[in-house]
Amino acid sequence: MLVAILPGDGIGPEVTAQAKRVLDALAIPGMTYEEAPVGGAAYKAKGHPLPPETLDLAKRADAILFGAVGDPDCDSLERALRPEQAILGLRKELTLFSNLRPAKMFPELADASTLRKEVAEKIDLLIVRELNGDVYFGEKGMRQTADGLREGYDIMSYNEAEVRRIAHSAFRAARARRGLLCSVDKANVLETSQLWRDVVIEVAADYPDITLSHMYVDNAAMQLVRNPGQFDVIVTGNLFGDILSDQASMCVGSIGMLASASLDANGKGLYEPIHGSAPDIAGQGKANPLATILSAAMMLRFSLGQADAADRIEAAVAKALAGGARSADLGGTLSTSAMGDAVLAAL
């Protein structure tokens, strides 16, 4: 089993290093690792955020553990060379269309949520975000209008096959959980969303055991704060999923706690924390590595067939938190490596 480790920028190398320590401690037979640059680090070293050798490694690997991309030094580059294009390129080249972003409240962190404890402690949901369509990949550009004004445009589009594919992924996820699926769109305004809703309803006929509901995205954002316990699985498009999953992260206490998986049709995936590169704290040992460690657990479960090892990691994280381990984002003082130490001790 080959795991590609792509640390990236900012705090990416720091948090992936802790996840690698945990994986090493498990000593899984036959698991090997190769590392390659990506993002701003790759641009500085190779002249492109996703160099050919990095993409080749990603294609050869059985799974990818990804840190974060984003470097202020690269903000002035043309869009095609900015660090963020690396993750978009990997999603496109590897056809990683199904993004799983779980948000579950660890009981020990209920007081860290901005929500009331009795509301926060009920959070146990999964956001299934479509990754290959929407405004992220639609035609975009800048132009001048007839009256001389600058105008920017980004085209949001989905075709039926893209929606059908992610809908099946979400229904299967709901079947493995509590059997509730909420499809989030903006069908009262967007034709894209109307197609989305129509196709999701069609796919629902194949899953009579799943309870399907629909919600407009603005209401969904409100309900995530008002009553997040009502949600089991949420399926939504690329843009809405990006926003709602970040919101869900704060409902459970910190964006530093949320892992994610981006999967292809065969279960191969890229695993990463949902947070960014956080250049303001990079190199200071302040980053919370738990989201990356939990991403490694997802990698073991979904792509590498190592469910028992994944359970051990998740149990170790819970035990470390129960023992009082807290990084700065959780109101504590532990450094990145010290949080890693706490998980290893629990493991």
Q: Is 92 a catalytic residue?
A: no
Which of 20, 186, 268, 286 does the annotation list as catalytic?
A: 186
Q: Max Cα separation, the chain?
A: 66
Which of 20, 43, 134, 136 does the annotation list as catalytic?
A: 136
Query: What DSSP assignment string belongs to 106-140?
Result: -GGGGGGSSS-HHHHTT-EEEEEEE-SSGGGTS-E
Q: Is 198 a catalytic residue?
A: no
Instruction: Say if CB 133 and CB 193 are below 8 A apart.
Output: no
Q: Is 136 a catalytic residue?
A: yes
Q: Is 73 a catalytic residue?
A: no
Q: Is 186 a catalytic residue?
A: yes
Cβ-proximal residues to 78 (8 Å cutoff; 6+ apart), any chain: none
* Structure token digits, residue 297: 């657990």
Q: Measured between alpha carbons, how far is 64 from 263 in angstroms, rounded to an integer?
A: 10
Which of 218, 280, 308, 311 does the annotation list as catalytic?
A: 218
Reported in sequence order, the residue ranges of the chain that DSSP labels E, i.e. its strands, are 2-8, 32-35, 63-68, 98-104, 124-130, 140-144, 150-154, 180-185, 211-216, 233-236, 259-263, 269-273
Which of 242, 268, 271, 329 does the annotation list as catalytic?
A: 242
Q: Measured between alpha carbons, how far is 327 from 237 in angstroms, rounded to an integer?
A: 32
Which of 46, 122, 216, 246 does the annotation list as catalytic?
A: 246
- Burial tier of 333 (Cβ tally within 10 Å: 0-12, 13-18, 19+): exposed
Q: Measured between alpha carbons, how far is 297 from 146 in angstroms, rounded to an integer?
A: 54
Q: Measured between alpha carbons, how far is 246 from 260 in angstroms, rounded to an integer?
A: 11
Catalytic residue positions, numbered:
136, 186, 218, 242, 246
